[in-house]
A and B are shown apart, each in its own frame.
Chain A
Amino acid sequence: METLERILAEHPFSRDLQKPYAELLVGCAANVRFEAGEFLFREGDEANQFYLIRQGIVSVEIFAGPSGQTTITTMGEGEVLGWSWLFPPYRWKFDARAVELTRAIALDGKCLRAKCEADHDLGYELLKRFALMVEQRLDATRLQLLNVYESHA
């Protein structure tokens, strides 16, 4: 079986972390798997983890009234799911559901929050990674909102 160290050393989110930080992450990590259709989390639940996806597809969904349950984005191998654990009130704002069998590393956000408070270098390192991710998602969302295909090729 692959060790958590190995998996974290290979995942794009954590592969270039300094060794002490990588070890610290291992201490907060657990291997998880979700069957197709299973929810990783639901809107409003406490957000105490985030997930490094190793395999599978997860859809991030919102219940949008008349449009029903709508998928906003999907995430797959190599991506990171969830940042609500970082910001009060630490609650999920969306649902996340495995579209197919999904394997991930769950990182304990509560434990990491405390460690980041105690070691700001670690906190800065993690926040830089999350800020980049948020920027990329915001860019993608802006393009999605532009509805580019409607304006036509």
Chain B
Amino acid sequence: MNLMPENEVMPAAPHPMAPLPFRVQRVRRETRDTFTLELQSANGAGRPSFLAGQFNMVYVFGAGEVPMSITGDPADQDTIIHTTRSVGMVSQAICKLKSGDMVGLRGPFGTPWPVEEAAGKDVVVVAGGIGLAPLRPVVYQLLADRAKFGKVVLIYGTRTPADILYQKELAKWRSRLDFRVAVTVDRAPAAWRGSVGVVTTLIPKVSFDPQRTVAMVCGPEVMMRFVARELEARGVEKNRIYISMERNMKCAVGFCGHCQLGPQFICKDGAVFRYDRIRPLLGIREL
């Protein structure tokens, strides 16, 4: 049955190469070099829906365009949230934006985290550094539908205690009895009362059933390699480990080939990949 009246025109999907205008509503400083921006549509069109794990191309006028994971709650229909670490020209320009400033967004693009597939299983989320940003929407979804999953674990590693993102939210998550949050840092002053050591060292220490676990991992590539190895050593099958390959890209729609890695285009076949499929390509130098 055709539900569209014949004389009405289907609204055209936005062209994937044309940025839509968004206004910065709020800026929050997370750490010394990382900022979270809340954005709202500036043309009244609302925000496109997205799945946990997808990213936008964020265009800063006069600076350029870079991929940024969407880090808000997929259930929040209003706002787009990005957390950006300042590493170079464009990310620095994003971190300097103030409330009221405009940016252009294209997206969302990319493959999602397998939240649906994880239903009925234990879920182990492993994040390193800024890698918590793409995984935060997963946490929102797991907690919103908590009864659907077995054990839910977040393992998070950063360089120092001062580099921990979303500190208030982490504290709230830690206080829940149905969510195990384990944080570790690579180095710390003696006053730090938490764990010190690389993120891989926490994997043998947390309780989950490897036979029925889905793992989602995001962080620097070298960290993801070691985490995947450690998860395998615990008995998690390669085909139930997912990682996000955040290498640099340009067009985000599989045209330009900038992010091609073997047969895969990170922008459209990823950024979230199943580990058994991407493993041979991990460790290949930056493109």
Residues on A facing B (Cβ under 8 Å) = 57, 59, 61, 67-74, 76-78, 97, 99-100, 140, 143-144, 146-153
A69 touches B189 (CB 8 A): yes
**Given A149-B163, A149-B220, A152-B85, does the pair A76, B187 have CB atoms closer than 8 Å?**
no
B190 touches A144 (CB 8 A): no
A149 touches B159 (CB 8 A): yes
The interface residues of chain B, by DSSP majority, are classed as mixed
What is the CB-to-nearest-CB distance from A110 to chain B, in angstroms, rounded to a whole number?
29
Q: Which listed residue (B87, B188, B219, B222) contacts A71, Cβ 8 A?
A: B188
In the complex, which residues 190-206 of chain B have their Cβ closer than 8 Å to any Cβ of chain A?
190, 192-198, 200-201, 205
What is the CB-to-nearest-CB distance from B195 to chain A, in angstroms, rounded to a whole number?
5
What is the CB-to-nearest-CB distance from B157 to chain A, in angstroms, rounded to a whole number?
8
Answer yes or no: B178 CB below 8 A from chain A CBs. Answer: no
Chain B residues within an 8 Å CB radius of A78: 205
B196 touches A153 (CB 8 A): no
**Given A71-B188, A149-B128, does the pair A76, B195 have CB atoms closer than 8 Å?**
yes
Alpha-carbon distance between A59 and B87 when the two chains are bound, in angstroms: 32
Interface size class of B (residues with CB under 8 A): 20 to 34
B189 touches A144 (CB 8 A): no
Chain A residue nearest to B186 (CB atoms) is A144
A76 touches B128 (CB 8 A): no
What is the CB-to-nearest-CB distance from A19 to chain B, in angstroms, rounded to a whole number?
26
Answer yes or no: B65 CB below 8 A from chain A CBs. Answer: no
B220 touches A71 (CB 8 A): no
Chain A residue nearest to B157 (CB atoms) is A149
Alpha-carbon distance between A148 and B224 when the two chains are bound, in angstroms: 10
A144 touches B197 (CB 8 A): yes
Q: Which listed residue (A69, A146, A153) contacts B190, Cβ 8 A?
A: A69
A148 touches B190 (CB 8 A): no
Task: Give 24 A-B contacts (CB < 8 Å), ordered by A residue.
Answer: A57-B193, A59-B196, A68-B190, A69-B189, A71-B187, A71-B188, A71-B189, A71-B190, A71-B192, A74-B195, A74-B196, A76-B195, A77-B205, A78-B205, A99-B193, A140-B197, A144-B187, A146-B222, A147-B186, A148-B222, A149-B219, A152-B220, A153-B128, A153-B220
What is the CB-to-nearest-CB distance from A141 to chain B, in angstroms, rounded to a whole number?
8
